[in-house]
Amino acid sequence: MNELMVVALLLILVFLLVRGRRVFASKGRFSDEVAEGERFAHKWGYKDTRFEFDDDRTVQVTGTRYPLCGYRMPYFLPFVEEVLEVPIRPEDMGQEVEHCDLPASVANDEFLRAVREVLNDDGVSQEDMERLVHSHGQLSVDEVYQILYHRPPERLVDVVLFPEEDADIQAIVQLANDHNVVLVPYGGGTNVSGALAIPTSETRMVASVDMRRMNRIVQVDEENFQACVQAGISGKQLEIALNGLGYTSGHDPDSLEFSTLGGWIATNASGMKKNRYGNIEDIVIEATLVTPTGEVETRHATPRNSTGVQPRSFLFGSEGNLGIITRATIKIHKQPEAQAFGSLVFPSFERGVSYLKALRPTGQVPASIRLVNNTELQLGQALKPEAKGFKKLQQDIQQFFLVKVKGFDPKQLVACTIVMEGTKDEVRQQAKTIFRLAKKYGGISGGAHRGERGYMLTFGIAYIRDFFTQFHILGETFETSVPWTNIHDVIGAVEKKLVILCEEYGVPGKPFLAYRVTQTYHTGVCIYFTMGFCAQGLEDSVGVYHAIERQLRQEILDHGGSLSHHHGVGKLRSGFLPQIQSENSIAVLRQMKKAMDPNNIFAIGNGAFAD
């Protein structure tokens, strides 16, 4: 290539980078798509959205809901086959099992007669499909994979209740206590900790209390920037309603479309924009928990108080063990004047982490900034349509600049996706600091479009999971919070252990491991892992998966990581609790439950209450 050609290419590249760096305002995520749609019974998401083969080597996503929809993906299957070293062929797709004979319902006729007098005609269901759907969450292997391709859970809920008002909940809890019936709160059904699994030893009638009809905003106090909201509202419904009034809650988890306010509180959830709006414990001012011994709540929602030990804290992470959360008073914020996206490319994950650490004390941390490792970056690239014409030229020039001019290794480079919100001046100042500081760590702007696409890509992860589950490729996500000094130790330990374990258990091909830093704090970060491997030919594929996953969790704990950052404990992680809580801490929690629920009506057995 002669010098003139190089200069011309670089001039074009400069134009593309400057053009790509411009940030732009965006509509609300659901501003032009409010239709709920029909959900899959057991898999993730909407029935109009799924991965399908175009031909033997190409797939596309049906529907129009997400940026992933409506185009051919010629790079996707080749990338996955290269990583896993196993073929992905249409003829190897598993056939879903049709469950005709489900476990019979446990009867408690007196309770059913009494509860039917409280709820509307369609407020009580004993249909088998309703029972099955309400007996699991989205834990991929133990729940979704088992139900779709093997067998239903050994124990199902016996009846599903659909309350609509606070008074319905109070009556249901009282009747359950009177008739010795177990209650299980149900929100969006999105948990991945096994929290909805019914203990097989439970012999009493179990009633699932589906909260999704309690989905109204009761009151908006614009003067004090707060709203009282029923706990069954989904994140999507909440944002549509608040956006219509010019506000936002700011809580933005990956499960936003389906998960509920009550579920966020019960799992102590975190969202992608926590830098600006806080985690759920920062957003909720007060909430109401209905227990068999009465309501737990503070009578006045004030900005802060010092009134001793606050019962409010019992709600966060309660995971259905103590009662039913009926409503909450939350902070609301004016919709930001400006929203802008951006992206950065770094030569290595280590450089990206150093950048994130340096950004924290500047006071210019954006609403969301996430650092993805090389594998996850390549996965995102593999989900793109085939580039042609000017787009192909643009990609070739950018690749030439990164690799040939800047010397980035394509197998090591990583990327940050950025969302900035606030006034126009705030966003401009954030952008100035973010991009200027990035240069000190070898970072290069990747453009606003890549930032927005990367942010929206999180909606597709669970659909990808369910597509590969058809081929008996088992995988799940697991997260941890880690001090700054332990980040690379934790990641290195998980990477090394996964390879060793897959060899020991005879896993075909190679495992997949991607990770990203999703949230940063003054003292550390949240690391979000995605792990998977092909289980074809394994004698006990589910057993092998759990043996590997348990040991990876132990590696995280051994190297200074937390048991969970935002998914909760449920049943999946309860066995690890003695390592992170003292014996007396667990005993205190159990005594607290006895005070609220002396007859163990909320006997779902999650976390510290697993026994």
Percentage with pLDDT > 70 across the chain: 94
Whole-angstrom distance, CA of residue 300 vs CA of residue 358: 40
Asked whether the predicted pLDDT for residue 25 surpasses 50, the reply is no
Structure tokens at 574: 């309860």
- Nearest of 385, 446, 376 to residue 417 by alpha carbon: 446
Indicate if the pLDDT at residue 169 is higher than 60: yes
Q: What is the mean pLDDT of the chain?
A: 93
pLDDT at 546 over 60: yes
The yes-or-no verdict on residue 22 having pLDDT over 60 is no
CA distance between the termini of the chain: 70
What H or E segment, with its residue span, contains residue 519?
strand 512-520
Tens of pLDDT along 287-327? 999 999 999 998 888 888 898 988 889 999 999 999 999 99
Where does the pLDDT of residue 178 fall: very low under 50, low under 70, confident under 90, or very high at 90 and above?
very high
Angle at 362 between CA 428 and CA 430, to 5 degrees: 10
β 338-346/294-296 pair status? unpaired
Supply the pLDDT for residue 509: 96
Look at strands 512-520 and 368-372 and give their pairing: antiparallel
Helix 448-456 and helix 3-21, axial crossing angle in degrees, nearest 10: 60
d(CA 439, CA 344): 10
How many other C-beta atoms can be found within 10 angstroms of the C-beta atom of residue 264?
32
Query: Residue type at 462?
Result: A
**Mean pLDDT value across residues 18-25:** 44
| pLDDT band, residue 30 (cuts 50/70/90) | very low
**Which residues share a beta bridge with 516?**
372, 528
Question: What percent helix, strand, coil does the chain show, rounded to 5?
Answer: 40, 20, 40
- Which of 450, 459, 474 minimizes the C-alpha distance to 530? 474
For the segment 50-93, what is each residue's pLDDT rounded down to a tens digit? 999 999 999 999 999 999 999 999 999 999 999 999 999 999 99
The pLDDT score that the predictor gives to residue 23 is 46
CA dist 320 and 493 (Å) reads 33
Please tell me the pTM assigned to this model: 0.94
Buried residues in 570-606 as b, exposed as e (16+ CB within 10 A): bbbbbebbeeebeeeebeebeeebeebbeebbbbbbb
Which DSSP letter does residue 554 get? H
Domains along the chain?
1-26+43-93+337-470 (3.30.70.3450), 109-212 (3.30.43.10), 217-334 (3.30.465.10), 473-566 (3.30.300.330)
At 250 the three-state DSSP class reads: coil
CA distances from 285 to 75, 279, 317, 598 (A): 47, 12, 15, 28
Phi, psi angles (nearest 5°) of residue 526: -100, 130
Active site amino acids: 528
Look up residue 509 and give its DSSP letter. Answer: S
C-alpha span between 281 and 285 (Å, rounded):
8
Span 19-37, average pLDDT: 51
Residues 473-528 have pLDDT tens digits of 999 999 999 999 999 999 999 999 999 999 999 999 999 999 999 999 999 999 99
Question: How confident is residue 28, by pLDDT bands cut at 50, 70 and 90?
Answer: very low
pLDDT of residue 9: 52
Q: Of 265-274, 404-413, 451-460, where does the model show the most confidence? A: 265-274
Structure confidence at residue 508 (pLDDT): 96
β-sheet with 58-61: strand ranges across: 51-55, 58-61, 72-73
- pLDDT-derived band of residue 456, with 50, 70 and 90 as boundaries? confident
Quote the pLDDT of residue 611.
Answer: 76
- Report pLDDT for 261: 98
Query: What is the pLDDT at residue 405?
Result: 83
Beta carbons of 114 and 205 less than 8 angstroms apart: no
- Give residue-wise pLDDT tens across range 350-400: 999 999 999 999 999 999 999 999 999 999 999 999 888 877 777 778 787
Distance CA 323, CA 319 (A): 9
Predicted confidence at residue 3, as pLDDT, reads 53
pLDDT band at 188 (very low <50, low <70, confident <90, very high): very high
Residues 6+ apart with CB under 8 A from 368: 252, 272, 273, 275, 417, 418, 419, 455
Residue 29's CB is within 10 A of a number of other CB atoms, namely 18
